[in-house]
Each structure stands twice: as C-alpha cells, then as structure tokens.
C-alpha cells in the first residue's frame, strides 16, 4: 500500500505531507491510521520546533473518501468508537491531535479543503492558503454534521452565526472569505515558503516558551477567569530558571553563545 503520510525533516522542522494525490488526499481508513501514527511519532521527537502540514497533488484534502469507507459497515463503528479515558475517537483524532503536539503546526492549503480536510486544517495553530483555494464544511451535503473535532476548533476562530451558516449549508467559500471569517491566517502566493519562513522565526525563540504559549492559549481560550489565571501561573513556574529560559534572557543583554536545548518533556 502507498505511504499515506510522509514526514520530511528540514533542520528542526517537520514537513508532513498527505500523500494520496490521485484521490485529492481523501480520507480512507489507511489515511486515518497514518495521520494518528504520524502525530504520535512527532510527539516523541523533542528536537523538532515546528510542523508544516501540506497535501500532495492538486488539493490539500477533499475530505472523507465516502465510497471507500462505506464499503465496510464496520468502518463507521471503528471511526466513532471512543476508547476509555481519552477525549477523542479515531475520526476526531485527525483534526484534534494536532493540538496535542507541543510545537506550532502550520497547515498549508491549496486547491480544495473540504469536509474532513477542513477539520484537519482547523486543528492546526495557523493556516496559510493559496489565493485560489476553496473551502467547505461539506458534511451537510451528505445529510451529516461535522464529527472530526470541529466542535472544539471552529468556536475558537469565528462567530457562532458564521459557524452555523457554514455548517448548515455546506457552502463552498473562497480563501478571501475564509480570511474574513477568521478561518485562514494568511493568504500567500507561495504559502509553503511563507510557512517555512515563519518556522525559522519560531526557532529563534525558546522551544519551551513556544510550547507553553501554545498550551496556555489552548487550555485557557474558553475557560473561566480562575482557570485561565491558574494556567498562566502553572506554566510560568515550569519555565522560570530553566536552561532555555536563561538562554533566551541572555540574548537580550549580550551576544550570547549559549544555545537552546531540545524542548523539555512538558
């Protein structure tokens, strides 16, 4: 079977490619398994500082490969069954698990970003798009609702009326509209190059500070004041006085030869 997801390491950056171009990177069962395995591998690699996620071929991801998945009725049970003591099931993992990575994830979209592909993109920290990319929360076309973690990720990015309209209609919308709705971070002629340049900017910072910044904002974004303030203090205590904090601070006072160590375990 073809390798559904490919990881290429460039310095301290992991470039992850969805690799089913003949099917516009549509999600079959092998793709679900490959994405979750990829996230697990990346999570263990403490040397990486950022992840760029892209799609091979003419589009980022066309969503669920309905024909392939529905050939076996047991596949739906496999996708929706939630193991004990975990937040997400296999269907949700492809979007949700990118949030669990302790490094920034930048998705690069082009061509089409539909359905499950849209939910994968929403699970990233940043979304860079070509001007001609088309987007859709397409599940309404099939008489369904999104079930790949959109209930968590979409609420952080746009107004509830926009979320409802896009989810109820399945309307296809442009990159410019996605930017207006808050669903795209930046529109670029060469989003991959821009994403890699942003990664280089991130690598100049303490990997621990970047990790805890992601954790702080993910954990506190929809929490109450008491929880949000608790997370601030908790994560700051994990940074203060550690090697990477001292290296970052030293760079503000002199041309420091000190170098950051790999990210802490968190």
* CATH number of the domain where residue 144 is located: 3.90.226.10
pLDDT tens by residue, 35-49 = 999 999 999 999 999
Q: What is the pLDDT of residue 255?
A: 83
Q: What is the pLDDT of residue 85?
A: 85
SS3 per-residue string spanning 68-89: HHHCCCHHHHHHHCCCCCCCCC
CA–CA separation, 185 and 240 (whole Å) = 31
Statement to judge: residues 14 and 136 lie in one domain = yes
CA–CA separation, 30 and 106 (whole Å) = 23
Average pLDDT over residues 5-22: 97
Query: What total number of domains does the chain contain?
Result: 2
Statement to judge: residues 111 and 229 lie in one domain = no
Average pLDDT over residues 84-106: 95
Average pLDDT over residues 243-261: 92
State the chain's maximal CA–CA distance in angstroms: 64
Statement to judge: residues 59 and 166 lie in one domain = yes
pLDDT tens by residue, 200-230 = 999 999 999 999 999 999 999 999 999 999 9
Statement to judge: residues 40 and 144 lie in one domain = yes
Statement to judge: residues 100 and 116 lie in one domain = yes
Statement to judge: residues 82 and 54 lie in one domain = yes
Statement to judge: residues 109 and 233 lie in one domain = no
Statement to judge: residues 69 and 195 lie in one domain = yes
- pTM across the whole model: 0.95
Quick one: which of 264, 141, 252 has its CA closest to 204?
Answer: 252
E-strand ranges in 125-202 read: 126-129, 134-136, 173-174, 186-187
Tell me which of 145, 178, 202 is where a domain ends.
202
Q: What is the pLDDT of residue 43?
A: 96
Does residue 262 lie within any of the structural domains? no
Tell me which of 185, 202, 219 is where a domain ends.
202
CA–CA separation, 173 and 6 (whole Å) = 29
Cα 152–chain centre separation: 12
Host domain of residue 214: 206-250
Residues near 32 by beta carbon (within 8 Å), at least 6 away in sequence: 79, 90, 91, 93, 94
Residue 129 has pLDDT above 70, yes or no: yes
pLDDT tens by residue, 143-198 = 999 999 999 999 999 999 999 999 999 999 999 999 999 999 999 999 999 999 99
Name the CA radius of gyration of the chain, rounded: 19
Does residue 261 lie within any of the structural domains? no
Residue 1 has pLDDT above 70, yes or no: no
């Amino acid at each position: 079977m073809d390798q559904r997801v490919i990881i290429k390491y460039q310095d301290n950056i992991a470039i992850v490619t969805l690799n089913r171009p003949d099917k516009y990177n549509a999600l079959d069962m092998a793709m679900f398994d490959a994405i979750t395995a990829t996230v697990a591998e990346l999570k263990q690699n403490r040397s990486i500082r950022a992840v760029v996620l892209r799609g091979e071929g003419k589009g980022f991801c066309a969503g669920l490969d309905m024909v392939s998945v529905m050939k076996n009725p047991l596949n739906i049970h496999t996708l929706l069954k939630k193991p004990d003591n975990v937040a997400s099931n296999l269907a949700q993992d492809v979007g949700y698990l990118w949030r669990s990575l302790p490094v920034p994830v930048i998705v690069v979209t082009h061509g089409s970003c539909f359905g499950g592909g849209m939910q994968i993109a929403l699970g990233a920290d940043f979304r860079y798009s070509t001007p001609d990319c088309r987007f859709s929360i397409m599940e309404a076309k099939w008489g369904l609702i999104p079930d790949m973690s959109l209930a968590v990720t979409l609420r952080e990015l746009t107004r509830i009326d926009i979320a409802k309209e896009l989810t109820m209609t399945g309307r296809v919308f442009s990159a410019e509209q996605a930017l207006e709705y808050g669903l795209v971070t930046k529109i670029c002629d060469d989003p991959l190059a821009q994403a890699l340049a942003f990664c280089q900017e991130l690598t100049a910072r303490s990997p621990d500070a970047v990790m805890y910044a992601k954790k702080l904002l993910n954990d506190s974004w929809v929490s109450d004041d008491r929880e949000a303030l608790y997370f601030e203090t908790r994560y700051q205590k994990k940074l203060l006085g550690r090697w990477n904090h001292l290296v970052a601070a030293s760079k503000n006072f002199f041309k420091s030869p000190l170098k950051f160590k790999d990210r802490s375990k968190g």
